[in-house]
Amino acid sequence: MSDTIPAQCGRCQTLPAKVEETGQLFLWPPLGHSLGKLVAFMREAGLEYQLRPEAQCVVVRLEQGSAAALAGRLGDTLTREELRGTRALFKQGSGEPGLTDFPNVGPLQQFLTLSRAGWLVDMLAEQRLTSHFQPIVHADDTRRIFAHEALMRGMEKDGSLVSPGTIMETARGADLLFQLDLAARGSAIREAVRHGLTGSLFINFTPTAIYDPAYCLRSTVSVIKDAGLEPHKVVFEVIESDHAQDTRHLRAIIDFYRKAGFRVALDDLGAGHSSLNLIHQLRPDIMKLDMELIRNIHEDEYKASITQKLLEIAQKLGILTVAEGIETPEELRWVRAHGVDYLQGYLIARPQNPPVQSTPHITG
């Protein structure tokens, strides 16, 4: 057995096989009555199956291309809790699982989602992710672009766009977040270089999609170096921070980025209770105020009071601030008057590819 340790994270860089070939689906339900429901379903559906009572297991024979149809029917047979609790393993061919197969055992719900996620596997394999860029401008002069945020988009084979929400939802359900997050970071860097962006670049990352920063992020750092980007101009933006249960793990990611010379931004500040705790735990270089907090802030004394205190904290701690979701002149005037450093929103410019090179001068 080789003792060689891989230099990269294989999980992030390896795509699962699409569940389209002939093979066997091994199912281990959590309860006896769930096993009975599965057997009754198989019998009524006329499927080829084996019952292995001693292992509380049902083995189903799947022909090529039949997984998606089975997934829909199983979803109607078992409860949501049973779908999450039943363990599933798909193995191509007719052989029995070996030790190397068992790391691939996962919830049946995940298998069902993956069986319908062949389009996303293809999109990642064919590098059909791209980035749209939204400018972030100086609050005191909206003509001066401080940075661009890279926002992920998918592309169909005909060139039409796939929304990031659809991609993220499918990736989360099919356990493809690791591969998606890596691909999105690489796309953002490549597109920024292709368009010759010279200001700072904000790149989103999902903390739960990173196992170990020393391995998972090594390829991203390499792409940045190869692209010739200055590290201090790259800002990694923590998204979905409320989903990061392990703060120590998130802190390790932040430390890795900082040691490499990058800056860190905390996104959606004010959107959830945990984000306030993350200020002192992560000590970000930049805080982005959530757009829901900014919406009609000039008319809402509660939002105004909360935001004013957040800005005071940031100014005292030397943290730069970005107001997201600026859509009206009134919102812009309020945040500008209360000391926000930078602005982002549709009033300035929408996300675009190619990115805008100039922004309007908004006074008042």
User: Can you give the pLDDT at residue 2?
Assistant: 47
The pLDDT, as a whole number, for residue 101 is 87
Closest among 274, 238, 244 to 256, alpha carbons compared = 238
User: pLDDT digit of tens for each residue in the chain (364 aa)?
Assistant: 445 444 555 566 677 767 777 889 999 998 888 999 999 999 998 889 999 988 999 999 988 878 877 877 888 889 989 999 999 999 888 889 998 888 889 899 888 888 888 899 999 999 999 999 999 999 999 999 999 999 999 999 999 999 999 999 999 888 898 899 889 999 999 999 999 999 999 999 888 777 677 777 888 888 999 999 999 999 999 876 545 567 888 888 889 899 999 999 998 886 655 567 788 888 999 999 999 999 999 999 999 999 999 999 999 999 999 999 999 999 999 999 999 999 999 999 999 999 999 999 998 7
Task: Tell me the residue type at 196.
Answer: G
Residue 243 has what pLDDT?
52
Cβ neighbors of 330 (< 8 A, separation 6 or more) are: 296, 298, 299
Encoded amino acid at 203, one letter = I
Q: What is the pLDDT of residue 354?
A: 95
Sheet containing 49-52: give its strands across.
49-52, 57-62, 23-28, 87-92, 106-107
Would you state the pLDDT for residue 249?
83
- All CATH 3.30.70 domain ranges of the chain, comma separated, are 10-91+106-116
Q: What integer pLDDT is reported at residue 230 of this predicted model?
A: 93
* Cα distance between residue 234 and residue 227, in whole Å: 12
CATH fold of 128-343 reads TIM Barrel (3.20.20)
User: Is 44 in a helix, a strand, or coil?
Assistant: helix
Q: Rounded distance, CA 339 to CA 321, Å?
A: 9
What count of other Cβ atoms lies within 10 Å of the Cβ of residue 301? Answer: 9
* Class of the CATH domain delimited by 10-91+106-116: alpha beta
Residues in Cβ contact with 284 at an 8 Å cutoff, skipping those fewer than 6 apart: 238, 254, 264, 265, 266, 278, 319
In this prediction, residue 9 carries a pLDDT of 53
pLDDT score, position 10: 55
Residue intervals of the chain classified under CATH 3.20.20.450 are 128-343
Q: DSSP E strands: which ranges in the chain?
A: 23-28, 49-52, 57-62, 87-92, 106-107, 129-138, 141-155, 161-162, 200-205, 234-238, 263-269, 286-289, 320-323, 342-343
Q: What is residue 7's DSSP assignment?
A: S
